[in-house]
Amino acid sequence: MTNTTDAAQTGDTIHVDAAFDSGNIEVLSVSGATAVLALRKDHASEFRQWYHFRVSGAAGRELELKITGLEDSAYPAGWPGFDSCVSEDREYWGRASSTYDKGEQNGTLTIRYTPASDIAWFSYFAPYSMDRHHDLVAEAAASEGVDYRRLGSTLDGQPLDCLSMGDGPLCVWLYCRQHPGESMASWWAEGALECLTDPADTVGRVLRQKCRFHIVPNCNPDGSQRGHLRTNAAGSNLNREWENPTAEASPEVLAIRNAMDEAGVDFAMDVHGDEAIPAVFLAGFEGIPSMTDELYDGFTSYRAILERRTPDFQTAKGYPVSKPGTANLSMSTNQVAERYNAVAMTLEMPFKDNDDAPDPEQGWSPERSRALARDCLAALLEWIEAR
């Protein structure tokens, strides 16, 4: 198995490549404009769902791209009703017509697309490159009143970046992309930083008067660069490491949690994407041992404000609620709520479209992820003022 088609092909055969930042695909066979493909597992892990590859030699030809073996992927329920993301300029990401057949080659997603140009890029969600991440961090760090902090190093030697701003008493943590394949979380972080660093944005300006923000735009740079769905370079699922993080398995979580211990936490949002549920929703901390009515009211009141502020958010669909005393404290939202007596939550965005407000051209998109970030911040401001 390789990440590219080999050279012994006829001139009318497409080429498939994935040897780049966040690339992930294995090429099983190529014939003409048809390719049979498979997903590569995360390193030292059984997780696989993310893909990102390019096809060249494709101009004006109807491509048929078959990604096989998906009944053994991390979330098989993510494939029915899913249309692949596609771009010809790596700026605008639309959707390519895709169908899922559970019975074909142990689950096959068939993507059909006719590009106008010679190269087309396909991805599980619009990728957010490490280069773009560094541009985002550099621009934010250069903004007035923003403090940059390198929280530590990843196992691959990448920096773990944190941006802090604001002079208010409420300590707010926004941290994104513990699961690297959930790239919509990085787009959300971009939208949040745009709001908070724009002097013309009144929501951002007032929030910085009321809060001290600590923002980690990418908690898992190694997994992001390696093209993983869910794990870091050691094969650790970071969102199951918060109770006992270690330098060997989860240095990212250890560094972030240590910084939280130092700064404190009053409000926290952990930003993710969900493979199967075609909606935006929040998950809370219902099962933590120290749950109080006052603490839980902080979560439910914020959720109600966000639902009123944007039609992209809803409360009917989401995860089952934990029973009292049964919360998994290795997960960040539960650990943060329990450890700091903080109003904590997990924000989930869809890989598919948002069925409550569908967009047949783009589905859920980078643009909507960025816009949702500002809605989340505007809801935070209203929540603060109401309390």
Same structural domain, 173 and 317:
yes
Three-state DSSP state, 43? coil
Only one residue has tokens 């944190």, namely: 162
Together in a domain, 117 and 143: no
Work out the number of other CB atoms within 10 angstroms of the CB of residue 259.
19
CATH of the domain at 150: 3.40.630.10
Ordered alpha helix ranges (H), 94-163: 130-141
Q: How far apart are CA 178 and CA 332, in angstroms?
A: 10
Report how far residue 44's alpha carbon sits from residue 248's, in angstroms, rounded to the nearest whole number.
Answer: 14
* Tokens linked to 358: 């569908």
Q: Which residues contact 379 (CB under 8 A, 6 or more apart)?
A: 302, 305, 306, 309
**Calculated CA dihedral for residues 8, 10, 16, 17, nearest 10 degrees:** 50
Q: Do 154 and 40 sit in the same domain of this protein? A: no
Say if 7 falls within a structural domain.
no
Statement to judge: residues 233 and 100 lie in one domain:
no
Considering 123, 145, 162, which residue would you say is the last residue of a domain? 123
Q: Does 177 reside within a domain?
A: yes
Please give the C-alpha separations between residue 326 and each of 285, 287, 289, 333, in angstroms, as whole numbers.
Answer: 10, 5, 8, 14
Task: Name the residues annotated as catalytic.
Answer: 348
Specify the DSSP element, H or E, that contains 306.
helix 293-309
Strand partners, 214: 164, 173
pLDDT of residue 339: 98
Considering 103, 123, 143, which residue would you say is the last residue of a domain?
123
The model's pTM: 0.97
> Taking CA 379 as the corner, what is the angle to CA 373 and CA 381, rounded to the nearest 5 degrees?
110
Residue 351 within any structural domain of the chain: yes
Same domain? 111 vs 142: no
The pLDDT profile of the chain, 387 residues, written as one tens digit per residue, is 444 444 334 468 999 999 999 999 999 999 999 999 999 999 999 999 999 999 999 999 999 999 999 999 999 999 999 999 999 999 999 999 999 999 999 999 999 999 999 999 999 999 999 999 999 999 999 999 999 999 999 999 999 999 999 999 999 999 999 999 999 999 999 999 999 999 999 999 999 999 999 999 999 999 999 999 999 999 999 999 999 999 999 999 999 999 999 999 999 999 999 999 999 999 999 999 999 999 999 999 999 999 999 999 999 999 999 999 999 999 999 999 999 999 999 999 999 999 999 999 999 999 999 999 999 999 999 999 999
Q: Is residue 8 part of a domain?
A: no
- Token look-up 């092909």 returns 9
Q: Are residues 26 and 161 in the same domain?
A: no
Which secondary structure element, helix H or strand E, spans residue 302, and what is its range?
helix 293-309
Cβ(277)–Cβ(317) below 8 Å: yes
Question: Tokens for 62?
Answer: 């109807």
- 250 & 360 share domain: yes
> Domain ends where: 123, 142, 172?
123
Residues 6+ apart with CB under 8 A from 118: 56, 57, 58, 59
Tell me: do 79 and 188 sit in the same domain: no
Do residue 90 and residue 134 come from a single domain? no
Q: How many domains are there within the chain?
A: 2
Same domain? 172 vs 51: no
- Please state, in angstroms and rounded to a whole number, the distance separating the CA atoms of residues 91 and 113: 18
Domain of 44, CATH number, reads 2.60.40.3120
Question: Alpha-carbon Rg of the chain, whole angstroms?
Answer: 21
In a domain, 2, yes or no: no
pLDDT at 97: 98
Dihedral angle, C-alpha 128, 141, 266, 196, nearest 10 °: -80
Tell me, yes or no, whether 194 lies in a domain: yes
Q: Work out whether the CA dihedral 263, 268, 271, 276 comes out positive or negative.
A: positive
Together in a domain, 115 and 262 = no
Q: Decide if 135 is inside a domain.
A: yes
What pLDDT was estimated at residue 11?
A: 61
Q: Which domain holds residue 42?
A: 15-123
Sign of CA dihedral 280, 286, 292, 293: positive
Cβ pair 256, 219 in contact under 8 A = yes
Evaluate whether residue 315 is within a structural domain.
yes
Residue 188 CA to chain centroid, in angstroms?
Answer: 8
Q: Which residues contact 304 (CB under 8 A, 6 or more apart)?
A: none
Q: Dig out the tokens for 272 from the structure.
A: 């993710």
Do residues 52 and 150 both lie within one domain?
no
